[in-house]
Structure 1
Amino acid sequence: MEYKFTDLVDISHLEKLMVSACEITGLLNAVLDSSGNILSKIGWQDICNKFHRNCPQTESNCRKSDSFICEHLLKEPFIGYKCINGLMDYATPIIVEGQHLATIFIGQLLHEPPDEEFFRRQASKYGFDETAYMEALRRVPVIPKERVVSIMSFYSQLAQLLATLGLEKKRELIRSEDKYRTVFENSGAGTFIIDRDLKIIMANMESERIFGFKKEEIEGSNAWTEFLYKEDFEKIKEYHSLRMGNPGSVPKNYQISVYDKNGNIKELYATAAIIPDTELTAVSLFDVTQQKQSKEALRQSEERFYKVFDNSPDIINIIGMEDGRYIEVNKKFAEKLEYTLEEVIGRTPEELNIFIDENNLNETFFRKLSEQGNINNVEIKLRTKSGEIITTLCSTEIININDEICWLTVLKDITGEKKMEAEMARLDRLNLVGEMAAGIGHEIRNPMTAVKGYLQLFQEKEEFANYREQFNLMVDELDRANSIITEYLSLAKNKVTDLKRRSINKIIKSISPLLQADALKEDKTIVLELEDTPLLLLDEKEIRQVIINLVRNGLEAMQPGGSLFIGTFHEGREVVLSVRDQGPGISDEILEKLGTPFFTNKETGTGLGLAVCYSIAARHNAEIEVDTGPAGTTFQVRFKI
């Protein structure tokens, strides 16, 4: 039975195969049937197409080469021949059941760099444009003979394979199509084949899922651009037009938005490429809508977290466990601890000297954190950049961020609450003492008055004349005890006050000579810094007492030569009385106990002076604030207007 090669092999498929072979080897190829008809011709060199085959003399040389090959073709698996024009050609026959049906040619190559002088003479001889001819020569591939032999061995085996496949053409075509269809349908991507006019000529099942149309609705009746979101329409048309002219001038991969059958917008990742030697384009589409939504949701989640993190009213920081350095801190951290973000990130708390009792923290806090994995509401004190101490409630969790183990710490500033607690405790103690003063103050004073009266009576009697010095001492001590009781009674909650609208500046000026006299005795000065202030509801005697007590405390705190400043000013809805000394400041231990009745650090003090001041301030609905440091201490009494 006689065969024709075209009966056994689908030429269009063969061409695709030969295109791939040409791309792999870099060599031209051609398939001719037994009658010399060209069935496939891929990658021929310009030196042959434009010169050797277009000149009668050199074209004759080509025919001689073809004749030689044909005469010797069936003697070996393949044959190689250097043509008269200077290039190498190779061929291998396709034989089916002893019949020579076709021939595979490769060639138009060199085994070694060309003898350019030979080709220049040839250009001159046959009237070729030497420059164009030599440029065409330089594009001719130079491939060692050994590699060409391997390639021809491949083509020889390919030829036999084609022959074998050709015997069962129909069955193999069906198998081939089934395999192709399986790959096409199960690639995991929506795949289109579109023509030059952007019409979809083939679509797979995944395309149905993406667009919601049946394949029959997509193929042949729709242009690819009909699915595109309006903002991508012109871009894709431009890409397609440029790709048809120059595939390398546009990106192969890009993201687009499309409409599905229900009008929903989907986000796709597209890959487009020209199918070689056709005007068809293969487009692969991956639906990334869910990924983009997830990515956007993650971005929004991270944005929300960052907003919560950065704008939290609490101090928040993240520290890497490996090196103990700050990875991130929020704005409240920078605000409360008085550092910029740049000063903190990448440094450790130890380098910033933030922790107050570092040794105790290492022994308790961090040990407990390592054992439990978290810490809740542990009270710790921190040092700000300026040296101020703040009290916080610390909660810490161990977390994983990008495979790095970290500490997430939230610190609630309770400095104000702690001060309030201390103030409330002080007031509670003051109230208790006040209640006691009201209850027992008079009971103590009455017997003392009787004792003093009898002592004064005995002083006048001649029989006690030798004891008058002792009686005087006893009376003085009783007077001193009486003054203490007087101060003690001023703590009483139910003490009657004589509140009238008065000028605090006038009260200060009225007792200024007395205060100046006290200061001069100790080689110290008092400076008045009084501003205009509105009238206040004041008990003049009690306010005098407050001023005298605060001034005398300030004078006692200073060395000779120091100055004490008494000031008043109007601030918002308050009038402020300020007493500022130039003493060494008050220690934290003493500061916590200020205003506690009977607490004193003076050898002859009663511990009632400041307690009385706080009690009087409370009766005037005023507050006392203390600011102390190495340069001195300032007491401010803030009266509500």
Structure 2
Amino acid sequence: MFDIFLVEDAGLEASDLKEKLESLGFTVNVASEIENVKEFKPDIVLIYTTPERMIEWSVKDLTVPFTFLIDFKDKAVFTGPHCCIDKPLNLEEIKQCTHFVFNKIILEEERYKNLFKYIDTCVAVYQPVDNGKDFIIKDFNRAAEQTEQVKKENILGKRVTEIFPGVEDFGLLEVFKRVYKTGNPEHFPISYYKDDRISGWRDNFVYKLPSGEIVAVYKDVTRQKQLEEELKEKEQLYRSIFDNTGSATAIIEEDTTISLCNKEFEELTGYSKEEIEGKKSWTKFVVEEDLEKMKRYHKLRRMDLSLAPRNYTFKLRDRWGKIRDIQLTIGMIPGTGKSVASLVDVTELRNAERKIRESREKYRAVVETAPNGVLIFDKFGRVVEVNKRALEISGFRKEELIGKDIKELAPRVRIDLVEIFDLFERAIKGEKIKEKVRSFTNLKGEKIYYIAYPSILRKNSEIMGLSLIIEDVTERYKAEKKIKESLMEKETLLREIHHRVKNNMQIIQSLLSLQAARMKEEETQRLLQECQGRIRAMSMVHEHLYQSETIAKINIKEYIEKLLEDLVILYKAKIKKKLKIEKIQLDLDTAIPLGLIINELATNSIKYAFPNGKGTITIKLTKQKNKIKLTIADDGIGLPENIKPEKTETLGLKLVNILTKQLNGKITHKTKPGTKFKITFPQNLKN
């Protein structure tokens, strides 16, 4: 049943009424002053008073239904009670009135519950505990359940600090405490709540109920904050884009005023933002010959965007009167009368275009008058340009070539397509292409010998086309062919000469051998034998020359090896040979004196250095930069003390000194132990 608070006034007896009400099952508390109602927290107040005090009671701040028990019901109605009962008091009437009020309370509670339950605003009711130091969750509506991701039945009766451990750091707990203490409602502005379970932005309004309970009415504004942040980021992004487009940008109002501009626009015009924004019209920057046209575009664009061009060029006059060529891109901001204009200074571009045109004309003139044929192909192999010389060489007319595929043209002049494609492929790879004479037959039936120079035309690393320069070398090719034929004849003749010289020397050598055999004097035989060795050394040079691939050069390594081998066999020596000969090509003027020097020094070592017939001869021939170094050494007994190679009267060493001078060389020697000669001379005697 419900609790009734009975207020008796003016000394009227209320005990009888109290008994009657209790007999009906109500709990009744009696007091003489209405202020005591806060202590008992009843469901209804019955005020037993006089007509004089009705108005006074009616203005009391009562938050529970009240009923007057009094005469003069018509006067009581104006005080706004929930019910009035006339005297004399009738128990049945009191019962009916009381139940009427309670039914009204129940109905209002149901309405409140439905509103509380289904409102889309979060509502939470908290019961203070520990004298307002903490709060227990007493009620939680559906919106709050969804926002906080909890079930009402799981959290009722639990402390707010248990369910929402971040509430103290959040700052809301302190608000609860203040509102509970002062009774003054507070708005807790949008703040960010976070714990291990949930997080989000909340906007709270907190107030205190007469019952002492704290109510928090709040909204989850997380999405709103996200949208605000996104909007802020987008505003920053668009502002950043506006300020950093790389081109001068301005927003133009319907009345032609510039309301916003970026740094590039300042630099382009020479005016600061403060001087431009909201103060200057775009018309002030346009030269007179473009102004009327642009004013017309300005009006048409606002009538229908399609009536005015979006891109065009005009001339702009800056602060100092300098005229600039401007490429303008302009469009409307939807839903407004404003337009956005982007201006690019193309003055330098126009100047560059003019220079390019001039350069192209010069290039075309150079190509057209070039002594070589020039063909330009696109990346698909179609001819896009050809000069006069190429037409003369090929026999084609220009209209027969332009637009035609190289695969279509090649068979007509018998060009090897595989070779041409290989040339272009190597050019694409960046390989160095050697000059090679090729041939084709032009439309006139003439055989043309040519050298092709392919190159790749690129733009930003992308292949845009190919060029082919054709050098007509027909006359040169024919002349070179004749020269080669003549050289081959001369080379054949020279080989024959070397062969005959070698044969003649062998005859002389044989004659000397016969003569020596008849001589009885040993000295004469020795001299003739030495002459034979020298002739053999020269003869071998001629033999190697006519047998070598190149008639003008001799492989000195093979020559020295053969020469030393022949000497060892001739003198029947049992010595060891150590050879370190680099592969050096020498001409006739160098090979003959060098061979004679080696012959003389090696012969001396074999004959005189080894009395016991055993030893080692070492010959080294190396190249150092542009000089050649010859070393001939033995490990024999050494030269006699009375013999000085540079002043000797012996024919062999004299000959060595003479031949060294002939080679423009220098000779040094060391003796004991053994004997070592070093001769250094330049490689190319002609220079």
- Structure-2-length-normalised TM-score: 0.41
Pick the structure with greater CA Rg: 2
Where relative contact order (Cα < 8 A, 6+ residues apart) is larger, the structure is: 1
